[in-house]
Structure 1
């Protein structure tokens, strides 16, 4: 890993900041921590480049507002959003805003390290992202019309019952189509499915 790359961790939870910093530094990845988006923004003009990890829900300025602010400032460093289960719709918004990845809490050490290394590599080459996009596009093409309709409902953050009502089918049938879509896409969780679809739709 390049010694010039630094991971900037932004979270109002001191325990999360400390554990992430410890994990990354044990993996020989330089890290800086910030207790708020506002504090981080003050450091942006002189910060070392690398990638940014930010929580969604924070006081003063949330993760989505930070992403928008960074984009307006022309900061091109990839951003990884950390989200609670209830924040999936917000994370979807973040993906639309161009973040590199989002990870649901609780997450494993391996998951965060993979995301960070991918984000740092993203600055060097877009090749892997393009390969992922092509793969996910191929998987999307295998979905039936109904599976795709159910999937669209899921990535919009709708509950199974709402999707069932919209499509005039039973909730149990929605569960079947949902399981089929997840299997065909190779997604283990809803957040993985959303990420795959967002990448597949990249221009």
Structure 2
């Protein structure tokens, strides 16, 4: 069975985004990109909510050819374009998703069943970046296998909390990691069922 891995940055005080939902308030640095590239290399499906999909699609495609961007950013752009993207949305028009590699839309009512089906198929990891509402829902119903949280050295004070509800499942720490030149700490947790 394939693993569903949620990979996100959170602030030291436990927020997914800053005031007004501003994700750019998060304490990003080079370790974030390095780890995201590593995760994309291990996956063959990227599961996204509509907002994250639209934000990524507006940013990533042009980065691949932008020689002013670091090599890791250009690699992430190419990997994001090539990977199969499954977007969970009731409002996104399936005809409006073209132009960014293999992408399809799944309605929210069908998302849990679709994720269970994806996990049962052979393949590599299924990855979620961003997509706060989606991954919290999938975590609450036992479909997330691992949380890879990059904890940043920043306090945002307010915004969107990383976790929306208490978990009935327990988490156990798989490992921690730091990155050269980065203030981020990676904490990888498995979800015990």
In which range does the TM-score fall when normalised by the shorter chain?
0.3 to 0.5
User: Which has a greater percent of helix?
Assistant: 1
What is the TM-score with the length of structure 2 in the denominator? Answer: 0.33
Larger Rg: 1
